[in-house]
Amino acid sequence: MSPRQKSQLKIEGRPVWAEVSTSALTHNLRAIRDFVNPPNEKRKTPRKVLSIVKGNGYGHGGPQVAKILEKAGSDWFGVTCTNEGIDVRKASVRKPILVLTSFWPGEEANLLKYDLTPVVHRCEQLKALDRAAAKRSPRKPVSFHLKIDTGMNRLGIATGDVECFARQLAKCKHLRLSGVMTHFASSEAFAPSPQGQQTLEQEQNFYAALDRLRKLGIDTGIVHMANSAAIAARPESWGDMVRPGVILYGYHPGYDPPEQRAEAERRLPLKPVMSLRTRIISLRRVPAGAGVGYGAKFTAARPSVIAVLAAGYGDGIHRSLSNGRGSVLVRGKLAPIIGIISMDVTMIDVTDVPGIGVGDVVTMYGTDGEHVHPANAVARSIGTVTSDLLCAVTARVPRIYTA
């Protein structure tokens, strides 16, 4: 979208908005699907793609993103909790929805009402789920996925509890295991270190647990473990289904060593999906020595032109980008953020940007015509991850879905 087209977008009220490119989103999904289904590999069925739309679709709008991705061919969707799943289902999404962190006692009825597939990560959850399934669907077993903790030590049954799980499942006449998963702690790490070895160890632990389940006569269903970094760099982990998160939205995660990122970007090219934009609402000239913003943390070293933007940390602009740590795109140039970012406004130095005016569109991160100010570079500059930046965009920022 050109700067002229951006300026013609009808944004009612305060000029802060997030543009979500449907073409970039569908490009990324199709690129991922093609990547994990190489033409030279002989599989009876193609690998499935479970699109992660938790956290309001990484800030892009969970239900809206899910609708776009379903039309583009996503096989499954992943949400955090029952309520997120209900929101996606109410958007008329028909494909299976996996509730990644399972259910809290009392949520079972809604889980089944909206045809959501829970992840079971504690053996004792089976009894409650079976009881709810008996009431809701006595003639048709309710499907669930099992999560195995292979070394992250967060959620999942321990590998040593497989036999206990099998005994508990045998008592549940209204449940059907339809998938088994694990989650990697350090899939982006390849350097010679404990973290660099952790994923290989997790893979070995996972396959050993799968073998034990199968020897106990349990059909493991869809096997899945690969998150974004594993999709890009660990083909041995692709299983029957992959779970792209941040790569769906256009960014590879950080790697160790860092040069691994360039290789991942070469193998799997992606397009940034979100562009966070605002407008200049005020311009002022300040003399050398004048302070700007709270605490006068910025002092002009020369006569300067300062632009005030209609967006602040209340909109999701990270406060840690304050005072020179961040920059924005305006009229095709990078302009530094100065002073302390406020809740509702941000100041930038536009002294070196010719033709600047009130109403000009400013891109906090994303694309601006031929120019790209990538969110992952912004995130690295303040020592955080891209997902943190994207998810920070608040509810008061309207999402505009463009071609």
Please say whether the beta carbons of 319 and 339 come within 8 A: no
Q: Is the pLDDT of residue 399 over 80?
A: yes
What is 286-335 written as a DSSP string? E-TT-EESGGG-EE-SSSEEEEEES--TTTT--GGGTTTT-EEEETTEEE
What secondary structure letter does DSSP report for 129? H
Q: Which amino acids are annotated catalytic?
A: 54, 294
C-alpha distances in angstroms, 123 versus 20, 79, 166, 170, 307?
40, 21, 9, 12, 57
Answer left, alpha or beta for residue 121, where phi above 0 means left and psi between -120 and 50 means alpha.
Answer: alpha
> Quick one: pLDDT at residue 7?
53
Helix (H), strand (E), coil (C) string for 247-292 = HHHCCCCCCECCCHHHHHHHHCCCCCCEEEEEEEEEEEEECCCCEE
User: Tell me, what's the pLDDT at 192?
Assistant: 87
Q: Span 375-397, mean pLDDT?
A: 96
- Give percent of the chain above pLDDT 90: 91
**Is the pLDDT confidence value at 128 over 70?**
yes
Residue 87: φ, ψ to 5° = -60, -40
Q: Which helix (H) or strand (E) holds 368?
A: strand 361-368
Tens of pLDDT, residues 164-196: 999 999 999 999 999 999 999 999 999 888 998
In angstroms, how far is the first alpha carbon of the chain from the final one?
A: 9
pLDDT band (50, 70, 90) for residue 6 = low
- According to DSSP, residue 189 is labeled B
- What is the tens place of the pLDDT at every residue in 139-164? 899 999 999 999 999 999 999 999 99
Which range among 55-64, 134-143, 161-170 shows the weakest confidence by mean pLDDT? 134-143
Instruction: Report helix angle 162-170 to 125-136, nearest 10.
Output: 30
| Cα dist from 358 to 91, 284, 305, 312, whole Å | 38, 10, 12, 17
Residue 1 confidence class, pLDDT cut points 50, 70, 90: low
pLDDT band at 8 (very low <50, low <70, confident <90, very high): low
Average pLDDT over residues 282-310: 96
Distance, in Å, from the CA atom of 157 to the CA atom of 161, rounded to the nearest integer, reads 6
On the question of pLDDT at 198 being above 90, the answer is: yes
> Per-residue pLDDT averaged across 129-143, rounded?
92
